[in-house]
Amino acid sequence: MSEKMIKWGFIGCGEVTKTKSGPAFQKVEHSEVVAVMSRDGAKAKAYAKERGIKKWYDDAQELIDDPEVNAVYIATPPSSHATYAIMSMKAGKPAYIEKPMAVTYEECTRINRISNETGVPCFVAYYRRYLPYFQKVKELVENGTIGNVINVQIRFAQPPRDLDYNRDNLPWRVQADIAGGGYFYDLAPHQLDMLQNMFGVIIEANGICANRGGLYKAEDSVSACFRFESGLPGSGSWCFVAHESAREDRIEVIGNRGQVSFSVFNYDPIVLHTSAGKESISVPNPAYVQYPLIKRVIEHLQGLSVCTCTSVSATPVNWAMDQILGKF
């Protein structure tokens, strides 16, 4: 696809496409969004009109079959990721999937098998790998600033969202058959992927899950321990029904000569502790956070560079989460 326009078809047109990803597809050179699809045709039509996209569909196969579309962005709830990705690749069109890659590790392996059989690439939107904020964290860890890394800890807590109290119309993110689990399956992927990007694949993981709030059936509190292929141990705790006073978004990387702590969702200043003292490091991110990754995906499709956010590299995240949730 060198020197060729990458003409995207969007399957799904929810909030993530409006702010984090959609504008970036239009701003990256040699990229254009030419069609959008939603099962709600009126929604797709309105979305297309608002953003100057010339075509809209209410059927995914019709969008995939559109001869002008040569790559597909899948921004639906996770339960349909595998189906749409496989449809796209069998049609010879690269797929870019929102995270998590799928609702189970097994579905991830199906996606990878079809990608391998067809020779059509598949990417997953773990865009934090390419953000300046997290690249700075990785630099601090890899350049020996905190010495030999000996432990990693994730701590995340937030109060219930207003929609979580609506039993008659719960968000899809807490419906395990659609999301793969509760909020853990929606938010932990970014944290686990970031750590695996720094320390290698998680090869052992265990967890204890509970529903303490009673607002929905999925787990709302998770404690886990895990081990990376290097032997590095890690742990994590997640609570999605916490009091406001307990709100936290923090990862600590502990070394024998210091510690670096950072947030994954709030982009709070990175805090570096060493024998030299404490340093707070602010790193701005681009206005559209998926821009750096989308740019790399497009360059990959043009044969200009290599994007590491492939479906193969994303699959270990689902394996670790399924281990923690006891799906195996």
Q: What DSSP character marks residue 326?
A: T
Quick: pLDDT tens for 182-241.
999 999 999 999 999 999 999 999 999 999 999 999 999 999 999 999 999 999 999 999
Quick: pLDDT tens for 72-104.
999 999 999 999 999 999 999 999 999 999 999
Answer yes or no: is pLDDT of 317 > 60: yes
Looking at domain 6-125+289-309, its CATH class is alpha beta
Q: Please list, in sequence order, all residues whose beta carbon lies within 8 angstroms of the beta carbon of residue 260, skipping any fewer than 6 positions away.
A: 137, 140, 141, 145, 146, 252, 253, 270, 271, 272, 273
Answer yes or no: is pLDDT of 1 > 50: no
Answer yes or no: is pLDDT of 4 > 90: no
253 phi and psi angles, rounded to 5 deg: -110, 115
Share of the chain above pLDDT 70, in %: 99
Q: What is the mean pLDDT of residues 136-148?
A: 97
Q: Is the four-CA dihedral 62, 65, 67, 70 of positive or negative sign? A: positive
Burial (CB count <10 Å: 0-12, 13-18, 19+), residue 45: middle
Quick: pLDDT tens for 159-181.
999 999 999 999 999 999 999 99
Where do the DSSP E strands lie in 229-276? 233-239, 248-255, 258-262, 270-274
Residue 272: left (phi > 0), alpha (psi -120 to 50), or beta?
beta
Asked if residues 209 and 324 have their Cβ atoms less than 8 Å apart, the reply is: yes
Question: How much is the pLDDT for 103?
Answer: 98
Burial 16-31 (b: 16+ CB within 10 A, else e): ebeebbbbbbeebebb
Quick: pLDDT tens for 261-309.
999 999 999 999 999 999 999 999 999 999 999 999 999 999 999 999 9
Q: What is the mean pLDDT of residues 53-72?
A: 97
Question: How much is the pLDDT for 3?
Answer: 66
Answer yes or no: is pLDDT of 2 > 50: no
- Say how far apart CA 320 and CA 286 lie, in whole Å: 30
What is the average pLDDT value for the chain, to the nearest integer?
96
Asked if residues 186 and 100 have their Cβ atoms less than 8 Å apart, the reply is: yes
Classified as helix, coil or strand, 80 is: helix
- Say how far apart CA 277 and CA 145 lie, in whole Å: 12
What is the third-level CATH fold of 132-285? Dihydrodipicolinate Reductase; domain 2 (3.30.360)
Share of the chain above pLDDT 90, in %: 97
Asked if residues 138 and 197 have their Cβ atoms less than 8 Å apart, the reply is: yes
Residue extents of the structural domains in the chain: 6-125+289-309, 132-285
pTM of the model: 0.95
Classified as helix, coil or strand, 225 is: strand
Cα–Cα nearest to 128, from 293, 326, 256 = 293
Split at pLDDT 50, 70, 90, the class of 14 is: confident
Answer yes or no: is pLDDT of 125 > 50: yes
- Residue 268 token pair: 């709070």
Q: Within 13 A of 112's CA, how many CA atoms are on the CB side?
A: 17
Split at pLDDT 50, 70, 90, the class of 16 is: confident
